[in-house]
Structures are given as C-alpha cells and as structure tokens.
Amino acid sequence: MTDHTHADTLRTPIVAVLGHVDHGKTSLLDTIRGSAVSEGEAGAITQHIGATDIPLDTISGMAGELIDPSDFDLPGLLFIDTPGHHSFSTLRARGGALADIAVLVVDVNDGFQPQTEEAIDILRRTGTPFVVAANKVDTTPGWNPQDGEPIQRSMDAQSERAKSMLDENLYEIIGQLSDAGFSADLYWRVQDFQKNIGVVPLSALTGEGVPDLLTVLMGLSQRFMKEEMAIDVTGPGEGTVLEVKDERGFGATVDTVVYDGVIRNGDTVVVGGQDEPIVTEIRALLRPRPLAEIRTEKEFEKVGEVAAAAGVKIAAPDLDQAMAGAPVRVVRDRTVDQVVEEVKAELAEIEVETADNGVVVKADTLGSLEAMANALREAEVPILRAEVGDIAPRDIAVAETANQDEHKAILGFNVDLLQNAESDLENADVKLFKNEVIYQLVEDYERYVEEKQRAQQ
Ligand code: GDP
C-alpha cells in the first residue's frame, strides 16, 4: 500500500556503490548507466556532475514486470559516480553520510574480502540501509544466460551443476553477512529490506539481475525515505562539495551534490573554505551536455535551478579557497551571518586537533582529513597542521619547523605534490609520504620513524 500524501516531499535517494577492489563496482555503475541510456525515449538518464540520475520511468522500463511505477512516489535514483567506501564515508551531509542507501558489491566467487569487511563496518556505523549485489554470476561454470528474465527465473533455468555451484557461493555470502550481524537472504525471500539484507545475484558484465537490483533499491529507498527523511525539496538548497576545479571561462568552480532544497542561479551561497566560509553569489549553474553535442558546443549547459537530489557545477567568484567535502548552503529566509555560523558549526564537527609539534597532513576532502586524523590519533602521532588540498611549498616550510627530526614529514592522502613545490621538497629536510590507503600511509610513517630511531641508537 502506498501513501501518496507525502508525494511532494520525497526526493531522489542518493545511492553509493561500495565493495572490495575488482569485485565490479565500476562495471556495475557503467552497466546501470549504459542500459538506462539504451532504454532511450522513456526519459533516459540525466547527466550530472559526479552523479547519475535514473528517473523512475527509465527504471520501470528496465525492470519490466518486476516493477509497477505507480507503487512509487520516488522520482528515481541518483547514483554517486565515484565508487568505493572512501568516497562514501568521507562525503557528508549534515554530519551523516551523503548517500542515503548503498549497494555493497561482492564477487560471488571471492566472497567477503578486507574491503568488504571495512565497507560493512562503515555501513553499520552510519546506519545506512544497503543491498548486496552478488556479482559475476556469469562466471559460474556452465552458466546459461537467459536474456531479459528476472534473475530468480534465470537461476531456475540453469543446469543442476551450475545451480548448486551458485547456491553454495551465495549461501557462503549470506553466512558471512550473518557473521557480521546482519540477517540476509536472497532478495525474493525478503519481505522487509530494512530488517533483512536482500542479496541480488547479478552480472555487471551481462546485465543479468541488474533490473532486479534496481527494483530492490527502489523498494528499500521508498520505505527509508518515507520514514527517515523529512525533506523539503523547495527550501533553500544544501549540498556537499565533491571537487573544486578550475574551468575555462568560469575560474574556480565547485562540483556539488545537492541533497536538500533548491539552488538557483543568482542565489547567495555560503561554501566551506580553507580559512573562513566563503560568501558568494552564483554566476552560473552548469550541467554537462550530452556527449554527442560536446564536440560542437561548449562542454556545459547553463541551467536556471536544480532541486535535490542532483549533481551540479557551481560557478561563482572566490571559490578557489573552497574545500572538497565542505558544505554549500543557499542563503534564503535567513541572514548571511546565520548561514555562515551554520557552516562553521558543521565544519567544527570535522575540526582536527593539532599540536605545537608533529606531522603535516594533507588530504583530498574534509572527510578524508578527519579519517586521517583519527588514524593518527590511534597511532599516537601528533599533527602540526592538517589541511585539504595538494601539497604546496607552504606545507614543506611548515613541516620544516617541526622541532623533532622524526616529525619533519608530510603525509598526503589522495593528493599530489604541486609542481612548484618539487624543488622545495628536494632542498628541505622533510620526508613525504603519499598513499591512497590510510592505514598504509600511517604504517609507512611509523616504519620510517622506527628505522630512524634504530639508526640513532
Ligand atoms: P571495481 O574495482 O570494483 O570497480 O571492479 P571493476 O568494475 O573494475 O571490475 C574488475 C574486473 O572484473 C574487470 O576486469 C571487469 O571486467 C570484471 N567484471 C566486473 N563485473 C563482472 C561480471 O559481472 N562478470 C565478469 N565475468 N566479469 C566482471
């Protein structure tokens, strides 16, 4: 039974895709985008900045008999394009995760792996509802594809050998979910997807089972958005910065996922900045043009407004100091000062504790900076300075002021050394560590300190 009275207030749920490396996150996103595009006329997908929007009619076109669109108040699903639990756990909205729901991709032959466990921990901690995509069913020996069939029927149609092989692998995953404290089952046996985790066997390669996954996601979101979200999609826009980018003709811009309200061209916005919140006026809201048009026209199309949930590029003066991961808030109904205070309060939650002596930390987003700071605190490594952004000459100068030799170090997470800082680094007595995995970065630093101490004895 669907209650339509709140139809206006349900916005598109934001979906993140997580899982172990090589289990098929990127392929799954590509397949979802690809089959949505080939669904064609029905509405196709809208291209976004950093996210892909699949409208309800496209989903129902893809899902065929599995879905009755009149059962849903949701406009569709918005997939965050960057897969992985790093982007999931470090992208926030009002202190929680930016994504409302998640797809955990598990290679059906490989089962749980370290990053699967990590993803589960994060999902549990953030209380994010999720669905498991048991990927790569097509690799089951003897698998016989059944085009366009729901996955349950496809599985029934396999040889006994393929069936028992697949069953064994799927029950292994269900067992591992149970060990992790989640009651899970094959999705067609699940009644309430918030209480029990639905496991959807599928293949990102052939597309089998993908419509089933979308159907389950719609069911889960509908429930969740109704119960958990009091969203006013017409209110002042709120979003999270994914990336700060220089764009020819526009200067510094921020790629933003809008998770609440409406952002309009000309709005005054407050954006979290390196030092102070930035107050500025939107000069243009930009969306990528359809790929086919890009060759002949400008890459972006200007739009008058976007409503949550959506990805959009914001062009405005003074955005060069904006921080990835920081909040974006439209000033409407309130004073600029009130909104600035709100942004400050939100940033203060992520403030990193620094000491008079220690290492310099640079990270790509605010959330990852916080994750780095937590890891270093656990390892009892003091931090002299922590900032979002690439490694600049100033960081090297700051690291050099550390008064203990072992601390003259910069730890860079998912960032680059700027070209104009290369010679500074060569001439400085500062050690640079760079990595895309937090615990490895911390371990590398600890090993370096140990070796140094040993050499001194
Ligand atoms: P990610 O690291 O989780 O993003 O994984 P990718 O999407 O890059 O996939 C890793 C590898 O597995 C690639 O070689 C894919 O082609 C392959 N792959 C992904 N999904 C499937 C699938 O459903 N079936 C098969 N046979 N291969 C797949």
Separation CA 156–CA 169 (nearest Å): 16
Q: What is the ipTM of this complex?
A: 0.99
Residue of the CA atom closest to atom 11 of ligand 1:
22
- Asked if residue 207 has its Cβ within 6 Å of ligand 1, the reply is no
Place of tokens 């109904």: 333
Q: Rounded mean pLDDT of the chain?
A: 88
Q: Which of 27, 31, 35, 151 to mutate to test the pocket of ligand 1 (most atoms within 8 A of CB)?
A: 27
Sequence-ordered list of residues with C-beta below 8 angstroms from that of 298, at least 6 positions apart, any chain = 249, 289
Q: What is the mean pLDDT of residues 116-142?
A: 93
In this predicted model, what pLDDT tens digit does every residue of 173-187 receive, in sequence order? 999 999 999 999 999
**437, pLDDT greater than 70:** yes
- Asked if residue 201 has its Cβ within 6 Å of ligand 1, the reply is no
- Asked if residue 109 has its Cβ within 6 Å of ligand 1, the reply is no
What pLDDT is attached to residue 138? 97
* Ligand 1 mean position, distance from CA 27 (Å): 6
In this predicted model, what pLDDT tens digit does every residue of 23-53 receive, in sequence order? 999 999 989 887 666 555 445 566 678 888 8
What pLDDT is attached to residue 277? 96
What pLDDT is attached to residue 294? 44
- Asked if residue 362 has its Cβ within 6 Å of ligand 1, the reply is no
- Asked if residue 13 has its Cβ within 6 Å of ligand 1, the reply is no
What pLDDT is attached to residue 7? 40
In this predicted model, what pLDDT tens digit does every residue of 214-242 receive, in sequence order? 999 999 998 888 776 656 678 899 999 99
